[in-house]
Structure 1
């Protein structure tokens, strides 16, 4: 590989592998620079168009990723095909040479011929280890973003609040997950009868997610947060997040086990529920004691060090028992409360104030990298467009239908539409599907399409309903 790129590529590429005279991570610093600037630019343009910043970050990633991929940037290609490369790594054993593993692994990946040829060329380069190192460091930066994001979401939800949500919120949340899941699975199998059952299940699970941040912003802008419907939607979204993570744990477990089996489902469900119960018991009986002991060595830094340390430990713990790391990250946020640090923190400090700047640094990179991995050419495929539109319709219908399971006297349309956006939660599901290999480039593009359309359509629909209510 030519390590000295042409100037236009250098200026465009945050991932170009450059020559180095010392620090082997210098080009990764350049990558982070471009990723952060790209995220800031995307968010700025989105705000100018009155759209959520996450949408701008996603689209800027799609544009830059497509440009670099077409230019043949080796690191960009490695990132785009991270799941296919995992097939190659699994095929590489003591009895199988690297060249043989490349051909075996890519044959299993079923890529388009031109993509397979391009990826093969990258994998067989003499400095591929260097390329792989830069790709993995960039993806690590992105992964930090998603677990910090889920940690911040968890901070907004306390275990004690779960019990107080009430029966209407629980019913709404349950139906808001079940209906889109069932419709997504059925439509996937109807449109593509040969689709793998695990893939159809994963698509259904993705549609069960809700990104309440977009809805909450619309309610706030419309001065509608006081409405009983708004409070019900926000309350149900809390439970929806928990149910979505449990569903994700079950689905990823089924994929890794290789089949749909009642025993496997029960085992995975038991792990997910058991993990959350263990976290609840830890918070109730041990967390204060652990924090007090931690403070002996960390002193005044405990207020920052302990929450972040717990975040990483529980993310690892979740993965160790076969759950997604984001389940652990979410749980870490859920059990952390400022009252546990009363004897340590300063009066003006809050956990959100300390952790939020870190999350705001990493999380946008995750969304840029999600866009980066989208194969824009997939949108030229009729099947992708057809399935994307069908899944978007299902995503909307399933959530709106859930709104009709609420009590009489409430605006069921407002409640249902409030649950529609998938936003960052849909992207998190999509990233896991891409990483595990259950979503190929086309299906990954379908989920991105659903995220974009539901994010764009929800605000005007909500504003229209709210205006009618106030008229």
Structure 2
């Protein structure tokens, strides 16, 4: 009987059952599905009931969910929207300000220079998956603010990678300008060449392949090919040091203008996968956090760091957006949209813990800070910026009508 409870089938069934509970909670409190899924993850995780722990199996499923989610989001964008000069300014200032504020706060609370450097580094990250999914729920992905957020977040991932490399090298005493330059070049080349190759070569190949008798007989073939390509780009991104979700996003961008006649819809098929695996991803963020680890000694630092994490991104990203011509509301939407740290900061924290740069207390603070910033943005979006502007969705998650 014990083997039954640890089987993949039982765990998958339990996770999806919990996800359904997350949707019910979100409906009851009139919040985004992301909030409900994270809250139910906290409820069933080690913080409260202890039904689910963050096992390797759950980690793998959650990772797949983030990859598929960003693949779907990529269908809404093109490369020109990502590399807009304004997005570079938003991302650059949005990395510098949080890093400096995080470092200063850590020093103020008496942490060592090495720990302070890594705390600042964790604050530079932005979790594109959280904000993108909320904007998708609200049918706002095509707004100027949403395009700026997604574009800046992709660039932010490259900059955060560079900051992480610099911070690690400085702490270990192995800093090299050439090493940092190499990381930057590899990341930028992957984004530009990857998007161009996917759009001009793979995308056009799929259109030609769609006209063949083979695909007429097996219309699901191209969808399988596209998903293979998404996961291949995800692993390529990881190989150059970027987040896997950036690779999946670039794959989705590559297929934005692919029009198929005989084959199954790439976007629609991916959306059904996203419904399952992205739900598990958001539940896992709640499971990952153990609120029992919060002691009175670190509670004050946790509160201060969370406030600084939000304000530094709102100012660091919102101010360049305002100076770049965005109105005040859109600038604030961008600032709060870049605030979620999510799984990205958690990964940075884990790297620091494993390297012995930060201790268990700092690790717990960074993980919970990541969760809090992740939860706050959807609440602010739905209850402040987009109050009453909720869309109606079909079974695949596509918006049928907006409440504008």
- Distance change >3 Å, CA 52–CA 398, structure 1 → 2: same
1:238 Cα deviation after fit: 2.5
1:155 is matched with which residue? 75
Q: Deviations over 1:53-102 (max 9, x none)?
A: 111111111121126886xx8x83xx3xxxxxxxxxxxxxxxxxxxxxxx
Whether the 8 Å CA contact 2:345–2:367 is kept in 1: the answer is: yes
Whether the 8 Å CA contact 2:47–2:292 is kept in 1: the answer is: no
Distance in 2 (CA, whole Å) between partners of 1:69 and 1:198 is: 35
Distance in 1 (CA, whole Å) between partners of 2:342 and 2:309 is: 17
1:394 Cα deviation after fit: 4.0
Distance in 1 (CA, whole Å) between partners of 2:152 and 2:207 is: 33
1:382 Cα deviation after fit: 3.9
Q: Is residue 2:238 matched to residue 1:323?
A: no
Alignment of 1:24-43 (within 5 A): 27-43=7-23
2:358 is matched with which residue? none
- With structure 2 as the length reference, what TM-score do the two structures score? 0.77
2:372 is matched with which residue? 449
Match of 2:3 among 19, 31, 49: 19
Alignment of 1:3-402 (within 5 A): 18-19=2-3, 27-66=7-46, 76=53, 79=54, 135-162=55-82, 165=84, 167-168=85-86, 171-194=89-112, 196-197=115-116, 199-206=118-125, 211-214=131-134, 231-251=143-163, 253=165, 260-288=175-203, 290-291=205-206, 299-339=218-258, 341-342=259-260, 344-345=262-263, 350-400=265-315, 402=317
User: Which entry has the higher C-alpha Rg, 1 or 2?
Assistant: 1
Whether the 8 Å CA contact 1:145–1:365 is kept in 2: the answer is: yes
Q: What secondary structure is seen at the aligned counterpart in 2 of 1:440?
A: helix
Whether the 8 Å CA contact 1:315–1:326 is kept in 2: the answer is: yes
Q: What secondary structure is seen at the aligned counterpart in 1 of 2:74?
A: helix
Whether the 8 Å CA contact 1:180–1:399 is kept in 2: the answer is: no
Whether the 8 Å CA contact 2:122–2:349 is kept in 1: the answer is: no
Q: Deviations over 1:245-301 (max 9, x none)?
A: 213433555577656543332221111111112213313542246436876776422
Whether the 8 Å CA contact 1:141–1:365 is kept in 2: the answer is: yes
Whether the 8 Å CA contact 1:153–1:330 is kept in 2: the answer is: yes
1:462 is matched with which residue? 385
Q: What secondary structure is seen at the aligned counterpart in 1 of 2:220?
A: helix
- Distance change >3 Å, CA 336–CA 410, structure 1 → 2: closer
- Distance change >3 Å, CA 442–CA 391, structure 1 → 2: closer
Distance in 1 (CA, whole Å) between partners of 2:106 and 2:209 is: 50
Whether the 8 Å CA contact 2:70–2:249 is kept in 1: the answer is: yes
- Distance change >3 Å, CA 148–CA 387, structure 1 → 2: same
- With structure 1 as the length reference, what TM-score do the two structures score? 0.67
Distance in 2 (CA, whole Å) between partners of 1:380 and 1:26 is: 32
Q: What secondary structure is seen at the aligned counterpart in 1 of 2:3?
A: coil
Distance in 2 (CA, whole Å) between partners of 1:168 and 1:289 is: 30
Higher relative contact order (CA 8 A, sep 6+): 2
1:32 Cα deviation after fit: 0.8
1:207 Cα deviation after fit: 5.5
Distance in 2 (CA, whole Å) between partners of 1:216 and 1:304 is: 22
Whether the 8 Å CA contact 1:65–1:373 is kept in 2: the answer is: yes
Q: What secondary structure is seen at the aligned counterpart in 1 of 2:42?
A: helix
1:397 Cα deviation after fit: 4.6
Whether the 8 Å CA contact 1:212–1:419 is kept in 2: the answer is: no
1:380 Cα deviation after fit: 4.0
Q: Deviations over 1:200-258 (max 9, x none)?
A: 243221268682554676686xxxx9xxxx94422311321211221343355557765
Aligned residue pair count:
370
Q: Deviations over 1:317-367 (max 9, x none)?
A: 22233333222212211211343x53543xxx5322111010110011111
